[in-house]
Structure 1
Amino acid sequence: MAELYQHRARKRFGQNFLHDAGVIDRILRAIFPREGERLLEIGPGQGALTEGLVSSGAQLDVIELDKDLIPLLKLRFGLKPNFCLHEGDALQFDFATLGVEPHSLRVVGNLPYNISTPLIFHLLGHAGLIRDMHFMLQKEVVERMSAKPGSGHWGRLSIMVQYHCRVEHLFNVGPGAFNPPPKVDSAIVRLTPHDELPHPAQDARALDRVVREAFNQRRKTLRNTLKNLMTSEDIEAVGVDPALRPEQLELADFVHLADRFAAMNTLQAES
């Protein structure tokens, strides 16, 4: 009966439906879902991954925004006792409402390219609930997430994701695995929230502010990019050379700068 529902991928939702059985199997083996686990799939689409996730015996929640896909998903999986469908926007979803134990939720998704970065930042805000995340993303986004200092891909996304998670670029996926085929290559990434942050900041919001300012003009030196937040003397005070460009700094350097910035704001508020 699923053939009754013919759904055309929508450009406004950034939809590219996965159909390659070999790629689907490889993703499922990377996730390795098991009975008793709690999984959340974002954007199940036509259910390419959903079938394997439900069959694993894990409790599966899915979030789907496209109302035209809801009948298909209900038809295929609605009677499964371990399947729960949430209609809505994952960017607005409060993951705490799932009632999961800390560090237990496993998140999966073939994420639309147009919302992947803001959605990942939204999920990082709930990192304490999450055991791991497996995403299909634009290859360039995965390269930015897994980048190292000194590379052209090192930037705000790399730093903020690596602050919260261990990043593994698992494998690449060509356009032919999708319908319609995208114009770019894709990749599978695994994000595993740290049990303990390797470089904890006094205030994660201060870290995000410093990193955002630093990379607004990434070719300029820190003394120029951070001039609205701190002086060259403040930068030097934490052992960082203000003549460096932001892409030359390690994660720990940005945390030191953020702690300095947070401390300065605290002193100003108290004076």
Structure 2
Amino acid sequence: MLWENRLSKFINKSEETNYNAKKKYGQNFLEDNNLLLEIIESASLTDETEVIEIGPGLGFLTDILIKKSKKITAFEIDKGLIPILTKKFGDNDNFELINEDFLAYDLNKIVEGKKNIKVVANIPYYITSPIISRLLEFRSNISEIYLMVQKEVAERIASKPNSKNMSILTHSVQFFAEAEYLFTVKKEMFTPVPKVDSAFLKIKVLNDDKYISQITEEKYFKYLKAAFSNKRKSITNNMLSLGYSKEKVANTLEIMGKQRLTRTEEFSVQEFINFIELLEKQ
């Protein structure tokens, strides 16, 4: 009954705005006020916080962000939503709406010279990885990223060593940031209802460049790509593609106290950096 009431409420709002969710943009709207407030609380916003929102949709989250932050810059690619968002929030001095593809936009225009920007968004799931990658490019300006993503993706990004969820995506994020799975959101909380459950994810940028001070991005990701080239094989076999013999890799693993058949998902970021350094010295 509660879900039917929410759906009825959504339909009325949709009729009022004459808007239908577009599948091509991956639009699944979240309007439960208690959940929206939990999202805001998790992000620890203040009246000094500048926020970037990606995919505001009908503005349910935007409405609270405007009240809780110094400024919000919202990216909405769907031209059909621009009149709706402008009508709702156009009179707010701390609201800027950009009708462009977030991934193609020059973020320097809004982040240059700024620090500690936060991203809070219910993003289109089909472009989760490109969005996170793009945001981490501006880690000197963006301090924290809060995203609603597919539950499975959140589990992978926030995974720990020796977990079945550990992947190249895990390392790609955790090389630059700490990731934390905050809470699960059932699929029925969205309209239209997606096929899978979601999760709210926190990504906190490592402000001291903890790992970049030890190894270049280029080298780290060259080895990482090779190490995860076949998850069913051991790292000993996967390193063959970089020209290392099985004996050399096995010797390196032995020095680290690991077995010859160790798989890459058993490594933390720091352990993988140590592995690379030792391997190159063999």
**TM-score strictly above 0.5:** yes
Change (3 A) 1:237 1:196: same
Are 2:254 and 1:254 aligned? no
User: Which piece of structure 1 moves more, 54-63 or 231-240?
Assistant: 231-240
> Contact conserved, 1:134 with 1:189, CA < 8 A, in 2?
yes
Please name the residue that 1:66 is paired with.
78
Change (3 A) 1:254 1:26: same
The residue aligned with 1:267 is: none
Residue 107 of structure 1: SS of its match in structure 2? strand
Instruction: Confirm or deny: 8 A CA contact 2:50 2:71 kept in the other structure.
Output: yes
DSSP-derived class of the 1:181 partner:
coil
2:178 aligns with 166
Offset of 1:131 from its aligned partner? 1.5
Is 1:219 the equivalent of 2:232?
yes
Distance (Å, rounded) in 1 between the aligned partners of 2:72 and 2:107: 13
- What is the rounded CA distance, in whole Å, between the counterparts of 2:168 and 2:35 in structure 1? 30
Corresponding residue number in structure 2 for 1:94 = 106
State how 1:73-222 maps to structure 2 within 5 Å. 73-200=85-212, 201-222=214-235
What CA deviation, in whole Å up to 9, does each residue of 1:210-253 have, x standing for no partner? Answer: 21222121110112212121404554458455532111222123
SS at match of 2:140: helix
TM-score after normalising by structure 2: 0.85
1:244 is matched by which residue type in structure 2?
Answer: T
Deviation at 1:204, TM superposition (A): 0.8
Q: Distance in 1 between matches of 2:183 and 2:26?
A: 21
Instruction: Note if contact 2:51-2:69 (Cα within 8 Å) is conserved in structure 1.
Output: no
Distance (whole Å) between structure 1 residues aligned to residue 66 and residue 231 of structure 2: 44
Q: State the secondary structure of the residue aligned to 2:200.
A: strand
Q: CA deviation at 1:260?
A: 7.0
Compared CA separation, residues 225 and 81, structure 1 to 2 (3 A) = same
Pick one of 38, 41, 57 that aligns with 1:26: 38
Q: Give the C-alpha shift of residue 178 in structure 1.
A: 0.7
Q: CA–CA distance in 2 between the matches of 1:102 and 1:255?
A: 31
RMSD: 2.3
Moved more, 231-240 or 219-228: 231-240
Moved more, 119-128 or 100-109: 100-109
Matched, 1:41 2:59: no
CA distance in 1, matches of 2:187, 2:69: 30
User: How far apart, CA to CA, are the structure 1 residues paired with 2:183 and 2:164?
Assistant: 20
Structure 1 residue 199: Cα displacement: 3.0
> Whole-Å Cα distance in 1 between the matches of residues 169 and 19 of structure 2?
33
Describe the shift of the 1:257–1:96 C-alpha distance in structure 2 as closer, same or farther (beyond 3 A): farther
**Residues 1:16 and 2:42 aligned together:** no
SS in 2 for 1:124: helix
CA contact (8 A) 1:210 1:254 kept: no
Q: What is the deviation of 1:5?
A: 2.2
Give the Cα–Cα distance (whole angstroms) in 1 for the partners of residues 278 and 108 of structure 2.
Answer: 32
Q: Name the SS of the counterpart of 2:35 in structure 1.
A: helix
Checking the alignment, whether the CA contact within 8 Å between 1:2 and 1:72 is kept in structure 2 is no
- Is the contact between residue 50 and residue 69 of structure 2 (CA under 8 Å) also seen in structure 1? no
- In 2, the alpha carbon distance for the partners of 1:84 and 1:217 equals 44
- Paired with 1:64 and 1:208, the residues of 2 have a C-alpha distance of 31
**Partner Cα distance (1:189, 1:99) in 2:** 22
Residue segments in structure 2 that go unaligned for 5+ positions in a row: 1-12
Distance in 2 of aligned mates of 1:146 and 1:99: 26
Q: Provide the C-alpha distance between the structure 2 equivalents of 1:155 and 1:175, rounded to a whole number of angstroms.
A: 24
Residue aligning to 2:65: 53
Contact 1:206–1:259 under 8 Å retained in 2? no
- In 2, distance between residues paired with 1:123 and 1:233? 40
Is the 8 Å Cα contact of residues 29 and 58 (structure 2) preserved in structure 1?
yes
Is the 8 Å Cα contact of residues 28 and 193 (structure 2) preserved in structure 1?
Answer: yes
Count of aligned pairs between the two proteins: 263
Secondary structure in 1 matching 2:40: helix
